[in-house]
């Protein structure tokens, strides 16, 4: 990429290959988003949880970044219940909170399977937001210590006072083989 200036504002010149890749990613995200929206009314929260099982089962490596919430695979049942209650308040969303909590907790079994590699990166703020009552949050923080103990799980936290190169607008999940994912790195953590 390079910028040019001709008698006016600067223009960003992006190689055609990059544009094609970004457009393909955008189309893929639109399909995934449309599928996600359709699944809520047709089985709601539990269905979305069950839809993740084959993705996680087929991946040798999963990388997760969440700036504002504890990642689902590390959530306690009570914390998850509060997250899902918030989702259920949105128009057209599933109301199957208890079934969704049960499905998410079952998904956590994957964390103990040998040969898997889960790496979670969260902000310290994500572990402080009161999306649930304080006692539930306290229990959730204790659960993080337990959930990060298996050799298949690595949890890293970006401290509140870390100098950030840019803002975090949203989280992301990627999955595949370690070779496909490469070595994702973050200046705030090492070896991630």
Question: Residue 181 — very low, low, confident or very high, per pLDDT cuts 50/70/90?
Answer: low
Question: Residue 185 — very low, low, confident or very high, per pLDDT cuts 50/70/90?
Answer: very low
pLDDT for residue 55: 83
Average of per-residue pLDDT values in the chain:
80
* Tens of pLDDT, residues 105-121: 999 999 999 999 999 99
* 3-class DSSP state of 90: coil
* Tens of pLDDT, residues 139-176: 999 999 998 889 999 999 999 898 888 777 777 777 76
Nearest to 14 by CA among 30, 5, 1: 1
Buried b (16+ CB within 10 A) or exposed e, 17-36: eeeeeeeeeeeeeeeeeeee
* pTM, two decimal places: 0.70
CA distance 13 to 43: 45
Question: Residue 7 — very low, low, confident or very high, per pLDDT cuts 50/70/90?
Answer: low
Residue 184 has pLDDT above 50, yes or no: no
Residue 4 has pLDDT above 80, yes or no: no
* Tens of pLDDT, residues 10-46: 566 777 887 777 777 777 777 666 665 665 555 578 8
pLDDT for residue 76: 96
pLDDT for residue 19: 78
* 135 alpha-carbon distance from chain centroid: 24
- Top pLDDT among 86 and 40 is at 86
CA distance 124 to 189: 13
């Amino acid at each position: 990429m390079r910028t040019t200036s001709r008698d006016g504002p600067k223009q960003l010149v992006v190689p055609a290959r990059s544009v094609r890749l970004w457009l393909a990613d955008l189309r893929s995200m639109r399909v995934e988003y449309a599928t996600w929206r359709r699944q809520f009314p047709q089985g709601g929260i539990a269905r979305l949880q069950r839809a993740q099982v084959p993705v996680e089962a087929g991946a040798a490596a999963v990388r997760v970044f969440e700036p504002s919430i504890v990642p689902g695979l590390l959530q306690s049942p009570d914390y998850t219940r509060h997250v899902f209650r918030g989702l259920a308040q949105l128009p057209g969303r599933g109301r199957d909170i208890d079934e969704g909590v049960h499905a998410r907790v079952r998904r956590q079994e994957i964390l103990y399977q040998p040969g898997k590699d889960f790496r979670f990166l969260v902000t310290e703020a994500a572990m402080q937001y009161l999306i649930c009552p304080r006692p539930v949050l306290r229990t959730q923080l204790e659960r993080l210590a337990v959930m990060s103990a298996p050799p298949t799980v690595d949890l890293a936290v970006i401290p509140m006072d870390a100098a950030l190169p840019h803002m975090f607008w949203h989280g992301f999940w990627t999955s595949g083989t370690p070779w496909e994912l490469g070595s994702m790195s973050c200046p705030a953590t090492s070896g991630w």
